[in-house]
Amino acid sequence: MAPDKEVFEGKKVLVTGGLGFIGSNLSARLIELGAKVTIVDNMMPRLGGNLFNVKEIADHIHINFSDVRDAHSMDYLVKGQEIIFHLAGQVNHVDSIRNPIQDLDINCRGTLVLLESCRKYNREAKIIFAGTRGEYGSSVTLPVGEDHPTNPKGIYAVTNLSAEKMVLVYHDVHKISGTCLRITNTYGPRHQMAHDEYGVLNWFIRKAIDGEVIPVFGDGRILRDFLYVDDLIDCFLHVVTCDQAYGEVFNVGTGIPISFIDLAKKIVKIAGTGKAAFTEFTQERKEVEPGDYYTNISKIKRIVGWEPKTDLDEGLRRTIEFYRKHKKEYWG
């Protein structure tokens, strides 16, 4: 069931990282529901911030070009906000290997600055933290439930897990309502398409649209579940309105695995262009590759009442159509 417009009508909402892929899609939906949206984004190069992402809602949002690590800015921005979606982060897996200190600074310090601003100036805000399935590391059992061991394989995932713990500490100790989502690979419109350092499915789509070879690492048999961005936004909206969700960690995904080679072939079929071919893992990617992963979403279904609605074929069709229409805004 879709969230009622009355729930968000007139609500003051802060979206950190709001000019990026997930944040811009979320902001557009919140505007449809009548919320008063403020976006904070530092437009760091290569992390997906794009003003075109919010072109259609530009007259209805307030954008603050700042950084979640800036305590002065966050002290000001959290005041009066009823809901805070914390999506800002360093998400580039390759950059994470090259410059792990930056991950620590943005993902951990940035989260702590936000939480401290809320502690000082707005303890009534509800915080939704967007984490990653990478917090689990290599799967011991499949599908992966929330009680699965957390053994991240890279600093990016370590910093997400640490930030998640911070949100839960502030929920328990300072009574600032927080809930944390461990999100699987997400795809769809408004994702950066300039490079392949994160967002593998969208990169596959770029290659297909350009009529080029989709590079599938290894034997292509690694399994993942892929979530369409509209379903993720629907999840955010359900979680924020569920009192039982606060203080909890939830997996978010589809739970429906597909191998990378089958995914590449499916994209080629739907796009009608491109072709799939195998390639060797780079050393950088091999070191952080966790292997098979797909999500057990029974907890979020039971407590929040959310489950994804968009099947992979339909999500791919919508995504390919979007990028064919707006290619010049995203190809770097």
Q: CB count, 10 Å around CB of 203? A: 20
pLDDT for 282: 75
List phi, psi (to 5°) of 260.
Answer: -65, -35
pLDDT for 198: 86
Which residue, chain included where needed, has tokens 């952080």?
Answer: 288
- Classify residue 150: in a domain, yes or no: yes
Q: Is it the case that residue 82 has pLDDT exceeding 80? A: yes
- Classify residue 207: in a domain, yes or no: no
pTM for this entry = 0.97
- Classify residue 329: in a domain, yes or no: no
pLDDT in tens, 207-257: 999 999 999 998 999 999 999 999 999 999 999 999 999 999 999 999 999
Alpha helices in the chain (DSSP H): 5-8, 21-32, 71-78, 93-98, 100-103, 110-121, 155-174, 200-209, 229-240, 260-271, 283-288, 298-303, 312-325, 327-330
Domain holding 160, by residue range, is: 5-191+226-256+293-310
Give me the CATH number covering residue 59.
Answer: 3.40.50.720
Our count of domains for the chain comes to 1
Q: Is it the case that residue 195 has pLDDT exceeding 80? A: yes
- Classify residue 264: in a domain, yes or no: no
Q: Are 225 and 295 in contact (CB under 8 A)?
A: yes
